[in-house]
Amino acid sequence: MSNKPYINRADVKEHLAKVNPNVLDYIQQCEIQIDKLAEIGYQLSSERHLPTLLNSIIEEGMRITNSDGGTLYLMTEDHRLAFEIMKTNSLGTDMGGISKTPIPDQIYPVKLYTPEGEPNHHNVSAYVGLTGKTLNIPDAYECTNYDFSGAKGFDERFGYRSKSFLTIAMKNHENDTIGVLQLLNATNPASHEIIPFSTDMQKLIESLASQAAVAITTVRLIEGLKNLLESFIQLIADAIDEKSPYTGGHCSRVPVLAVMLAEKVNKIDEGIFAGVNFSKEDMDELRIAAWLHDVGKITTPEYVVDKATKLETIYDRVHEMNTRFEVLKRDVEIEYLTALTQTTDTARQAELETEKLAKLLRLDEDQKFLNVCNTGGEFMAGDKQDRVREIAKRQIVLDGEQQDLLSEEWVMNLNVSKGTLNDAERNKINDHIVVTIDMLEKLPFPKHLRRVPEFAGGHHETMVGTGYPRGLTKKDMSIQARIMGIADIFEALTASDRPYKKGKTLSEAMRIMGFFKADQHIDADLFDVFLSEGVFQEYADKHLDAKYIDEVDVQKYLDIQPKPVAAN
């Protein structure tokens, strides 16, 4: 414990006021500046928009020193000082930063080195950028150590007088100069006379520059991490695209739709969405969730994701099936020729040929029928499925062994009633959402992205608990998750790059989504916004081929009322 006596600050001030009032006034001014500097430090540490941050730095520097002008440079990767902000109050100039006037292209960055590779110590800002030392120059016109030809040319052009300069390096935590702050023409508040920058001013601005460097580094670090995350997300989407060209486009288009619908909801100021207001962070969270909503498909086998026909696995087995039909046709020919050699009766020979042609015709018809079934383009009604089973029972000799023309597994695949996937394969596809949720919940998302797993994992749920994987209802889901469902379905319906189907026209897609609205498969209120605010049309105009864009009776689908939920 210190033995020094406690000194009351107020008593000291009272004593100084009696001895010399001017000293007290000076101390009070210093206290105000220190308090203001602390406040500035807090403001700088909380600002995340770089142009706004840079603007605050230069304005506070000019305010503290009562300067008429200032320039802020940032170091480029090729070791030059780029002009970011230029201000001169008396001339009314304000360029760069958050100003509406950009830095002119004719104002080139300051080179730190000469063409010969020598340090450019003749330029004030270059010298400070290279050495990290502060330069406090009372009068540029009396200074012979540095080249002020540029400033003098400016003065001559605009009738100005660049006199006092204070140039300070902004250094990061690694002591690297990341920028330079230059203040011009400190002014006496009372006489408005241009004065040199005082030592006290210099110390305050050096402190400001230090805080500014920390703030700039923080913003750049945050922005860098954000860009890294965004790039990583798109890298995953690209990986899915490489895995299957039929889903990669989906990964990039769903975010477009989701954000478009969310932006429309944001603008509604009446009705059930009147109180909804998605912030920039909310929109970023939704967009990232949309990019990642199918990340689980990276584990789904390619032959399932890309299954274009019912018999396709690693290859389309329809070719093997057609070969078997050729074997059957060969057997018919052999049977006919064998029987032909056993009779000389012309009538019998004609009868045998007629039988052969009938058998070949039947085989051709069955083969054609199975090839159509294999495409998965039409609904497989019960009578068609029965015909497949009947054809499958035809006998064929393969590898010296008599067997059915089609195996049970082939019959099961050909009899898939809708699409090309059998139940096991469809479960594999559906399982991607479980994998998606599991993968995303393991990621340490920052606070403003913590709901990404929920948004991404809800796009296959319905409003009445009939979806998957969790069987959620509308009350269990956020608006963003419900937006994802609409975006996912509409993109899938209108996509023209799927191997198993053609893209649907707008009217066809809306007809199907109308059924989804009626069955409460999608959020009816959000779908009404999707319709009334023209989201579908805006998306189509930008992303769909003209042949898929046709007229949609919007009112027809707005009038659809969701069916009541059946009581358990």
Name the residue with higher pLDDT: 525 or 428.
525
Closest CA to 489 of 474, 504, 475: 504
450 in any annotated domain:
yes
Q: Say which residues have a Cβ less than 8 Å from residue 210's Cβ, sequence separation at least 6.
A: 170, 171
Residues 390 and 504 in one domain: no
Q: Above 80 in pLDDT, residue 180?
A: yes
Return the amino acid letter for 509: A
Q: Is 297:432 a contact under the CB 8 Å cutoff?
A: yes
495 in any annotated domain:
yes
Residues 187 and 156 in one domain: yes
pLDDT for 237: 76
309 in any annotated domain:
no
Both tokens assigned to 491: 């993109």
Residues 386 and 524 in one domain: no
Question: Could you read off the pLDDT of 201-228 as tens digits, one per residue?
Answer: 899 899 889 888 988 998 888 888 888 8
Q: Report the SS3 class of residue 118.
A: coil
For residue 525, name the pLDDT band (cuts at 50, 70, 90): very high
Name the DSSP letter for residue 551.
Answer: -
Pick left, alpha or beta for residue 479 (phi over 0 → left; psi -120 to 50 → alpha; otherwise beta).
alpha
Residues β-bridged to residue 95: 86
pLDDT for 28: 60
pLDDT for 41: 60
pLDDT for 503: 75
What predicted TM-score, i.e. pTM, was given to this entire model?
0.68
User: What CATH number should be reported for the domain holding residue 527?
Assistant: 1.10.3210.10
Give the C-alpha separation, 480 to 357, whole Å: 63
Question: Could you read off the pLDDT of 349-398 as tens digits, one per residue?
Answer: 999 999 999 999 999 999 999 998 888 877 888 999 999 999 999 999 88
Residues β-bridged to residue 397: 402
Return the amino acid letter for 58: I
Question: Could you read off the pLDDT of 463-491 as tens digits, one per residue?
Answer: 999 998 999 999 999 999 999 999 999 99
**Cα-based distances in Å from 134 to 34, 57, 90, 129:** 20, 17, 25, 9
**Cα-based distances in Å from 162 to 128, 396, 552:** 18, 100, 67
Residues 355 and 479 in one domain: no
Tell how far CA 407 is from the center of its chain.
Answer: 47
Residues 442 and 509 in one domain: yes
pLDDT for 15: 60
Question: Could you read off the pLDDT of 222-269 as tens digits, one per residue?
Answer: 888 888 888 888 888 777 767 766 665 788 899 999 999 999 999 999
pLDDT for 526: 97
Residues 292 and 340 in one domain: no
Q: Is 263:276 a contact under the CB 8 Å cutoff?
A: no
pLDDT for 3: 60
Q: What are phi and psi of 46, to 5 degrees?
A: -95, -10
Name the residue with higher pLDDT: 158 or 249.
158
Q: Is 450:469 a contact under the CB 8 Å cutoff?
A: no
233 in any annotated domain:
no
Give me the percent of the chain exceeding a pLDDT of 90: 56
22 in any annotated domain:
no
95 in any annotated domain:
yes
pLDDT for 75: 95
Name the DSSP letter for residue 167.
Answer: E
For residue 12, name the pLDDT band (cuts at 50, 70, 90): low
Residues 57 and 139 in one domain: yes
Domain termination site, one of 178, 206, 221? 221
Query: What is the count of structural domains for the chain?
Result: 3
User: What CATH number should be reported for the domain holding residue 67?
Assistant: 3.30.450.40
Mean pLDDT (the chain, rounded): 88
Q: Say which residues have a Cβ less than 8 Å from residue 343's Cβ, sequence separation at least 6.
A: 349, 352
Q: Which domain holds residue 371?
A: 318-420
**Cα-based distances in Å from 127 to 112, 120, 131, 133, 169:** 8, 6, 6, 8, 10
Q: Above 80 in pLDDT, residue 422?
A: yes
